[in-house]
Every structure is written in C-alpha cells, then in structure tokens.
C-alpha cells in the first residue's frame, strides 16, 4: 500500500514539472514550483510515515519551508522587475 501511494504521489508531480518547463509566464512557473515543492514534501512525509524514519519528517518540513521562501523571493523579485 505504501509503495502504491508513493508512486501515485510521485506521478502527481509530473503536471507541475510540465508547468515549470513550459509555463508561459514567470507567475505560472512560480505556481508550478510551489506545487511541486508541496508534492515532493508529501512524498517524503508519506515515506517517513510508512517506513518509520522520523528524520524524514524533519527533512520534509525543511524542504517545504525552503520552497515557500523560494516562492516568496521569486514573487518579490518578479514584482520588483515589473516597475
């Protein structure tokens, strides 16, 4: 069951990756990157829950926080560049 869930969560990361790759604008790519970060953090958290490795929850949380900070920084940079 855990392998199936990890594979499905991994496959759910494909559409955001395509948005990042082919996104028509910076904002589409930022949203795709944010979505990809959340989904990959979910894969790490699911793996931690099923394998019993609690350290992976710390890694998933750190990855999600860094992804959020990256999204905010790119959004601020994009907003500043439009002036």
For 9, residues 6+ apart whose C-beta sits below 8 A from its C-beta are 39, 42, 43, 46
Reported as a pLDDT band with limits 50, 70 and 90, residue 79 is: confident
Q: Does residue 82 register a pLDDT over 90?
A: no
Rounded-to-integer distance, Cα 82 and Cα 78, Å: 6
Give the single-character DSSP code of 24: S
Q: pTM of the predicted model, to two decimals?
A: 0.80
Q: pLDDT tens digit string along 18-77?
A: 999 998 888 899 899 999 999 999 888 888 988 889 899 999 999 999 999 999 998 888
Reported as a pLDDT band with limits 50, 70 and 90, residue 1 is: low
Mean pLDDT of 1-26: 86
């Amino acid at each position: 069951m855990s392998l199936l869930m990890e594979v499905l969560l991994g496959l759910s990361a494909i559409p955001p990756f395509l948005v990042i790759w082919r996104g028509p604008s910076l904002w589409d790519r930022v949203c795709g990157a944010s979505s990809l970060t959340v989904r990959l953090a979910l894969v790490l958290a699911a793996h931690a829950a099923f394998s019993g490795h609690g350290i992976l929850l710390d890694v998933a949380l750190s990855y999600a926080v860094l992804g959020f900070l990256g999204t905010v920084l790119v959004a601020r940079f994009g907003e500043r560049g439009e002036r």
